A and B are shown apart, each in its own frame.
Chain A
Amino acid sequence: MGLTVAFWALAVVAVLSALGVVLLRNVFRAALSLILCFLTVAGIYVTLSADFLAAIQILVYVGAISVLIILAIMMTRDVHRGSPANRLQIPALVVAVLFLEVLVLAVINTPWQISNTPALTPTTAPLAIKLFGEGGFILPVEIAAVLLLSAIVGAIVLAREK
């Protein structure tokens, strides 16, 4: 009962704030709406007994990524007037509709499996075993980290003044 109420409250706020990200003309308010969306997604993780994931969601998405987005907005001029008009609206619509179709088809056609085993508590140790244990995922994670690092270095090299 409590879980259902929590889920629906979080889900409604998540969808509304996600719509706000797209529809708000003020870029800064859109970014704040995105933060609210991230927070509610973290809340949904909590209702699924994934507490570690929820904390990481807040730490990474709210604490780091959103802050970078806001910092980028603050560095940009003339954002008070909303996003500047350009002629890419129709191509953007086409791409967005295609992407939505792919997502909807993927969600509908996937046979979602619901596990009957009770949720693990605490989740930290099983996650660590998945990461560092026998046949763990440490190598892919490290490769992703190196990829991100090289992207950052590349961006700095491109953006640096000669």
Chain B
Amino acid sequence: MAIIDFVINSRVPMQALPPDWPGGFWWHWLFFTVVIIGFVLTMVMGFIYIERRGMGYMQSRLGPNRTGPFGLLQPVADALKVLLKENIVPTTADKLVHWLAPIVAFAPALMIFAVIPFQDKALLADLNIGILYIVAISSVSTVGVFMAGWGSSSKYSLLGAMRNVAAVVSYEIPLVLAVVGVVMIAGSMSLNQIVLAQNIPFILLQPLGCLLFFVAGCAEINRSPFDLMEADSEIVAGFHTEYSGMKFAMFYLVEYAEALAISAIITTLFLGGWRGPLLPPILWFVLKVVIVFFVMVWTRTTLPRVRIDQLMALAWKFLLPLALINLVITAIQVLIWPTALPWILVPVNFAIMVVLILIWSKFFKLGLGRIEV
């Protein structure tokens, strides 16, 4: 119901809300906590449906279509099934760590949404270090993955966790460097301010930054084609091999909540967040988030899984140099036009992106060329 109230309240687009809306501090906190939990759970259900049906269509099959109209109730059935399953803990497991791991992984994924604006000033906490907070908090969920890998005392879990940390440590650098470009143009780290600064959506001014963020973000959350931390053919299911029942459901939820978080961050940083004509802001926000997630599903069905050496090479030889070059170019542009970047830069930046990617793709090859270790 909270979400419905929210949509009704936000009927007039672009209207600034009073700073302490809706009421006092604790009411604000309670309201947005409920909204965020409801939003995440609802959107995750939607995402699971989109992913399974969308992948089905892309792979010339139907996907789940039996439960409810068009298979819409499939996520509900899945959730019920997984909740009723037996919870199995390996006898050699470190029980406490094994039990805590899903919680440690899930809490940061939920905490990210505290600073994401659903509408002008409609967010749990408008921190002036917003994007830095997201980068910091999201690094905590690695610890949860570690705890799962270690606490299960299974070699597949441990291998999955090790692969995960190798990927996360490498891809965090281009991810953050891509964000810095946006922060320089917007002149603030508060996500609300970043959205307000986007008279031109930053994907047009920062096409390379957006691409880098998307690739690095997909790798951070282990989505295919970077899902070799949970490659079923090699290490069963990675760090959550030994989990079942509710705790497995938590990891499943984390996976999609992180995908939702990355989609929401891309929407906020690059696509103008809740801004858009005619429709209410919350609808624009959800629409853009779903579009970004659809692109993730699209890349998942299109690209084959990478090897571990390719994963590392892509991060250090491709994304990192391009992110640095993007940073320098953005800094020069911000120095020349300190107040607002002109429209003329849009084609210029797209041209720079295409030229850079073409040059770099000549420098090193993935797959066909020599194997770099």
Binding site for B on A (CB under 8 A): 26, 28-29, 32, 35, 39, 51-52, 55-56, 58-59, 62-64, 66-67, 70-71, 74, 121-122, 124
B side interface size, CB within 8 A: 27
- Residue A52 contacts which of B94, B129, B165 (CB distance < 8 angstroms)? B129
Contact A74 B169 (CB under 8 A): no
- Residue B143 contacts which of A26, A59, A62, A122 (CB distance < 8 angstroms)? A62
The distance in angstroms between the C-alpha atoms of A113 and B371, with both chains bound, is 59
Contact B139 A58 (CB under 8 A): yes
Chain A residues near B172 (CB-CB < 8 A): 63
- Residue A28 contacts which of B97, B127, B132, B162 (CB distance < 8 angstroms)? B97
Would you list 19 pairs from A and B whose C-beta atoms are within 8 A, ordered by A residue?
A: A29-B94, A32-B97, A32-B147, A51-B128, A55-B135, A56-B132, A56-B136, A58-B136, A58-B140, A59-B139, A62-B139, A63-B142, A64-B169, A66-B143, A67-B139, A67-B168, A71-B165, A74-B146, A122-B129
The closest CB in chain A to the CB of B134 belongs to: A55
Chain B residues near A70 (CB-CB < 8 A): 143, 146, 150, 165
What is the CB-to-nearest-CB distance from A4 to chain B, in angstroms, rounded to a whole number?
17
Chain A residues near B149 (CB-CB < 8 A): 74
Q: Is B133 an interface residue when CB atoms closer than 8 A count as contact? A: yes
The distance in angstroms between the C-alpha atoms of A66 and B144, with both chains bound, is 12
Contact B135 A124 (CB under 8 A): no
What is the CB-to-nearest-CB distance from B131 to chain A, in angstroms, rounded to a whole number?
10
Chain A residues near B168 (CB-CB < 8 A): 67
Contact B143 A74 (CB under 8 A): no
A59/B132 contact (C-beta < 8 A), A28-B97, A35-B143, A67-B142 known: yes
Chain B residues near A29 (CB-CB < 8 A): 94, 96-97
Q: Is B137 an interface residue when CB atoms closer than 8 A count as contact? A: yes
The distance in angstroms between the C-alpha atoms of A124 and B129, with both chains bound, is 8
Chain A residues near B135 (CB-CB < 8 A): 55, 59
Binding site for A on B (CB under 8 A): 94, 96-97, 127-129, 132-133, 135-137, 139-140, 142-143, 146-147, 149-150, 158, 161-162, 165, 168-169, 172, 189
The distance in angstroms between the C-alpha atoms of A148 and B369, with both chains bound, is 34
Contact B162 A59 (CB under 8 A): no
Contact A28 B94 (CB under 8 A): yes
Contact B143 A55 (CB under 8 A): no
- Residue A63 contacts which of B94, B96, B136, B189 (CB distance < 8 angstroms)? B136
Contact A67 B133 (CB under 8 A): no
Contact B146 A124 (CB under 8 A): no
The distance in angstroms between the C-alpha atoms of A59 and B132, with both chains bound, is 9
The distance in angstroms between the C-alpha atoms of A55 and B149, with both chains bound, is 26
Contact B128 A124 (CB under 8 A): yes
Chain A residues near B137 (CB-CB < 8 A): 58
Chain A residues near B139 (CB-CB < 8 A): 58-59, 62-64, 67
The distance in angstroms between the C-alpha atoms of A48 and B135, with both chains bound, is 21
The closest CB in chain B to the CB of A59 belongs to: B136
Excluding A59-B132, A67-B146, A71-B162, 11 further A-B contacts by CB distance (< 8 Å) are A28-B97, A29-B94, A32-B97, A51-B127, A52-B132, A67-B142, A67-B165, A70-B143, A74-B149, A74-B162, A124-B189
The distance in angstroms between the C-alpha atoms of A66 and B150, with both chains bound, is 14
Chain B residues near A121 (CB-CB < 8 A): 128
What is the CB-to-nearest-CB distance from B251 to chain A, in angstroms, rounded to a whole number?
18
**Which 4 residue pairs across A and B have the least CB separation, nearest first?**
A63-B139, A122-B128, A58-B136, A59-B136
A63/B140 contact (C-beta < 8 A), A28-B94, A29-B97 known: yes
The distance in angstroms between the C-alpha atoms of A11 and B132, with both chains bound, is 24
The closest CB in chain A to the CB of B133 belongs to: A55
What is the CB-to-nearest-CB distance from B24 to chain A, in angstroms, rounded to a whole number?
13
The closest CB in chain A to the CB of B172 belongs to: A63
Chain A residues near B94 (CB-CB < 8 A): 26, 28-29
What is the CB-to-nearest-CB distance from A67 to chain B, in angstroms, rounded to a whole number?
6
Chain A residues near B189 (CB-CB < 8 A): 124
Contact A67 B143 (CB under 8 A): yes
Chain A residues near B146 (CB-CB < 8 A): 67, 70, 74
Contact B128 A62 (CB under 8 A): no
Chain A residues near B129 (CB-CB < 8 A): 51-52, 55, 122, 124
Contact A67 B136 (CB under 8 A): no
- Residue A74 contacts which of B128, B136, B140, B150 (CB distance < 8 angstroms)? B150
What is the CB-to-nearest-CB distance from A128 to chain B, in angstroms, rounded to a whole number?
11
A62/B162 contact (C-beta < 8 A), A29-B97, A32-B147, A51-B128 known: no
The distance in angstroms between the C-alpha atoms of A74 and B239, with both chains bound, is 13
Chain A residues near B128 (CB-CB < 8 A): 51, 121-122, 124
The distance in angstroms between the C-alpha atoms of A74 and B132, with both chains bound, is 29
Most buried by B among A52, A55, A121: A55
What is the CB-to-nearest-CB distance from A135 to chain B, in angstroms, rounded to a whole number?
22
Chain A residues near B161 (CB-CB < 8 A): 74
Chain A residues near B169 (CB-CB < 8 A): 64, 67
The closest CB in chain B to the CB of A80 belongs to: B153
